[in-house]
Structure 1
Amino acid sequence: MVDRLTPEARSRLMAAVGGKDTAPELAVRRMLHAMGYRFRLHRRDLPGTPDIVLPRHGKAIFVHGCFWHGHEGCRLGRPSKSRVEYWGPKIAANRARDARKAAALRRAGWSVATVWECETRQMNKLAARLRRFLAA
């Protein structure tokens, strides 16, 4: 597959992709707020800087984009067909980093959940899963 953008244009486009306040993250935040939960965002003093932290409950939530974090078996998480030699190791490194961050939080006494981008398309199921996680 050939990239339609020049390397410079692709670099600008990829540099503009943000890691905070993504649409899936905002959807999860709106849902938690509507459920009555109050939380903190992007706590840099915690391992991995979780996207959403509920200190009173000892819970941390990461909201992952399916492509960027290599969501197995997900249509949105399919590996790129272009530049496989770049994207394969990149996504694998992201997954390994995610596992290290979650493990460090658990060692520090936090309960950790990961919400995938594709899960925000079925909000009722996601709400039920988050209720179970937060009640545990």
Structure 2
Amino acid sequence: MKKKIFVMAQVYDLTKQEISEIENEVQKDLDKYSNGGIGFKINITSEKTLELIFTRKYRYGEIDWLNYNPETIYCTDAKIITGHGFDGFRVPVYWGGVPYGYPFFMPKDEFISCYKKSAIKLGGSRSKFAEVNTMPDKIILALAY
């Protein structure tokens, strides 16, 4: 796959680095960001599609998931995918925020739009399609080019 992907505050060129190298680099940053609470893998599903898989070693409380709307994504998950806030990194197209201390979530469509625009501004490849799925134990960002 000849694409540049945006994940965890960086753009990685799949033609210049092995998948395992990228996974290791992202994992190092995630370990610093989450104290080892998040695992990371890239799954190439076809010549033009891939998945970025973030596995939580912790789980959100059951109450969060009982009230969870599948059309939304937690801000925490958005930050894990993009690296927003990691070592001072800011996504170029930010989805907004709320006062400190208030947990919140946003429509997935809003996050995907910000993610795709930020990826392009940072030098990543333009994706034709993106979908994010969140579960109590993982986050999957599927991208098609």
Fold agreement, TM-score > 0.5 = no
Higher helix share: 1
Q: Which has the higher contact order (CA 8 A, sep 6+)?
A: 2
